[in-house]
Amino acid sequence: MQKRGENLRALLERLTEDSAIREFLRQLAETPRIEETTATNGSSRTNHAKLVGHICGGSLISASWILTAKHCFDSQLDPSLTQDPSRLTVRVGEYNLHKPEEFQVDHEVEKILIYPSTASNYDNQYGVLDDIALLKLKRPVTFNRNVQPACLPYPGEVFRAGMVCTVAGWGVTEEGAEVSPILRHINIPLISLDDCKDIFTPLMLWNPKFQIYPSFICAGNSESMDACQYDSGGPMMCRSGVDGQYIVVGVISFGIKCASGYPGIYTRVTSYLDWIHNITSH
């Protein structure tokens, strides 16, 4: 289990200023990239064109482990990824995707571990159950002033509706746009599961397979602010009521388009703490 250290505590105390938030998010986040393995030339393609560039975010939770979303590496993108993690690179210390930076370091991935769900993970065209995964790096990250591990919640820790939390990523800033070159963040309130179910009732009536599960966190507001494509896997961060630390409470999972009036859905980290600790402690 990741101990909440004094170095991270000092970093989090700077969250009252926008520049400090940017620095903290830069420390938390990582940018997975898939190497180009086949050639493309205009509209002609050799074999299958492979994904290249930023695909998802994640959180560094120890020197060797990244917490992210399962759907980034499951069949929705490329089923061969979990069998060939060498095609994936994790970058830590990144802020600007288009500019080399002093603290950014690329790391090869040793293995991809997706949560072993017994449910049908793609129950419908919207939702993903148990949308959580861990990446083990081939070599540990060297911590410094700008690269520190994120804190995880305590077991049973509760984050109530109305609490304002922060989500971050390099995702698109509007539907169909390019990924953001810089790491961005928004502050959004948590929504109770009961209220979330009420909001999604029309969709659940239209598609009975879609449900709001206890392992989900709902968050959003009426100001058209939301995570979007390519933010997946990144962190939702809330301030702990136990010790005041900012911790990774959720993993960005899915939504109905972007800022469409429906809340965003996040994977609730506390629902998977046993699995995370069992995997990362070995």
Query: 154: burial class by Cβ within 10 Å (0-12, 13-18, 19+)?
Result: middle
Which residue in 71, 180, 215, 253 is the catalytic one? 71
Which residue in 59, 180, 232, 253 is the catalytic one? 232
Whether 222 and 150 have beta carbons less than 8 Å apart is answered as: no
Q: Cα–chain-centroid distance for residue 157?
A: 20
Exposure class string for 16-41: b at 16+ Cβ within 10 A, else e: eeeeebbbbbbbbbbbbbbeeeeeee
**Catalytic (active site) residue 71:** yes
Amino acid occupying residue 171: G
Rounded distance, CA 144 to CA 200, Å? 43
User: What beta strand segments (E) does 153-276 contain?
Assistant: 164-169, 184-191, 216-219, 235-239, 246-254, 264-268
**Catalytic (active site) residue 232:** yes
Rounded distance, CA 242 to CA 226, Å? 27
**Catalytic (active site) residue 253:** no
What does residue 29 show for φ and ψ, rounded to 5 degrees? -90, 160
Among candidates 94, 89, 32, 27, which has minimal Cα distance to 248?
A: 27
Which residue in 131, 226, 231, 253 is the catalytic one? 131
Among candidates 247, 241, 244, 227, which has minimal Cα distance to 59?
A: 247
List residues with catalytic annotation.
71, 131, 232
